[in-house]
Each structure stands twice: as C-alpha cells, then as structure tokens.
Amino acid sequence: MNRHTISVLVENKFGVLARVAGLFSGRGYNIESLSVNTTEDPRCSRMTIVTTGDERIIEQIDKQVSKLVDVIKVTNLTSGRFIERELLLLKVKATSANRSQIVELVEIFEGKIVCVGGGEIGIELSGRDEKIGDFIELMKPFGILEMARTGRAAISKDPSKGK
C-alpha cells in the first residue's frame, strides 16, 4: 500500500468532479486528499488526487479515470520526480504568556501570521504534508480552534515534453 499522487487534467465541464469522485467511490479506491481548480487554460481544470494502493490498483485507476468523459490526461506523478505542496490555515488559542512561543514556531516553519485578536492567532503555512503534519502536532497543546488544509498541488520535476 503506497501513497500515490495522481494528476488529472480535465475539461472544465459540469459534473466531471462528480464522475471522478464517483468512480473512486464506486470501485472502492481511497481518496486521501483532493484538490481541483482551474489551469492557465480556462477550458481545463486540474485535479490532484492522493490515493493509496498497490501497483495493480494504481494501474486500474489510471486506466479507468482515463476512460471517463471530459478527462484529457492522467499522470501518476509518483512514478517520476515531482514536487508537491499543500497549504494549511489554522487558528489556535493564544494568551499573552504563550503567544511568543507560537510566533517562534511559526517562524521556524516559515509560516505567516494572518490574524491576531480575541485570544486567537491565525496562521498560514505551506509545505510538504509531513511538515504540515509536524506543525499541527506542535500546535495541538495550545488548542486548535479551527483548521483547513488544501489538498495537494503537484508538478513534475522532469523536463516538460512540449506542452
């Protein structure tokens, strides 16, 4: 059971997310995280899906997603060199006594303070999922009030072939 990051370029048409998510759910494939947003071409969107499974399952996902209507291209980024990042917004309890501790941790992780007030601090942090996970663990003792974590964005590190 390995974790795979799959990038799916789709036509920006109605219902395409429901079809892809439905295929994963219908076949019993796990979705650990998912992001979908527009690309530089307004006709296309890109989904980045993190899933787990052995080689056979990943091959099946690749084949079956490729066959769906409005799917242009499926790339298993995990098979080459790639860069992936996600973004975290988190609100944590802060008192005058522990605020500087929190700020110090945010600086170490190269995060940003996005709001302060009413005994709360809002933090923005980007990075690989492991870094994000480590930061969340460090914030737990202060009292996490709210958090939202995007799915992954991922691009290949290998030279682009054409476009």
- Site residues (vs a second copy, CB under 8 A): 7, 14-15, 17-19, 21-22, 24-26, 28, 30-40, 46, 48, 83-91, 114-115, 117-120, 122, 124, 126, 136, 140, 143-157, 159-160, 163
Q: What does DSSP say about strands 71-76 and 144-149: parallel, antiparallel, or unpaired?
A: unpaired
- Smallest distance, a second copy to C-beta of residue 59, A: 21
Q: Which is nearer to a second copy, 2 or 38 (CB)?
A: 38
Q: Which is nearer to a second copy, 11 or 32 (CB)?
A: 32
- Smallest distance, a second copy to C-beta of residue 115, A: 6
Q: Distance between alpha carbon 79 and the CA centroid of its chain, in Å?
A: 18
- Smallest distance, a second copy to C-beta of residue 94, A: 12
| 125 vs 131: CA distance, rounded Å | 9
Backbone angles phi, psi at 50, to 5 degrees: -100, 125
Q: How far apart are the first and last CA of the chain?
A: 32
Q: Which is nearer to a second copy, 29 or 58 (CB)?
A: 29
- Smallest distance, a second copy to C-beta of residue 152, A: 7
CB-based contacts of 38, cutoff 8 Å, min separation 6: 12, 44, 45, 46
Residue in this structure with the two tokens 């933090």, named with its chain if needed = 123
